[in-house]
A and B are shown apart, each in its own frame.
Chain A
Amino acid sequence: MFRDTISQQDKELVFFTRELINQHIVPRALEYDALGNEQFDGSALDILAEYNLLAPIISPEYGGRGASYLVTAMLLEEIGAGCAGVAAAVAANIQSIAPLLAAGTPEQLGHYLPLLTAPQTSLGAVAMVENGVNLDVLLPTEKVAKHGSSLQAQRSSHGDIINGCKDYVMNAATAKFISTLVEYPECRDKTSSGFQLMVIPLDVPGIKKGPSGRKLGLRYCSTAEIEFKAVKAEPQFMIGGPESGLELFKECMDKTVPLIGAVCVGVARAAYQHALEVSKERKMAGHPVFEESAVRHSLVSMASKLNAARLSVHHACWMIDKGMDHTLTSPQAKIVASQAAQDITSRSMEIVGSQAYVNGNPAEKYLRDAKMLSIVDGSEQFHRFLLASQL
Chain B
Amino acid sequence: MNIDELLDDLPRVEASAAFKQDLMDQIPHSNIGHSNAGIMNKLTPIVMAASLACGLFLGLTDMDILNTALGGLGLAVDDTVIAGEWASSVSPYATTFDVL
> Are both chains from one complex?
no
The chain A residues found within 8 Å of chain B, CB to CB, are none
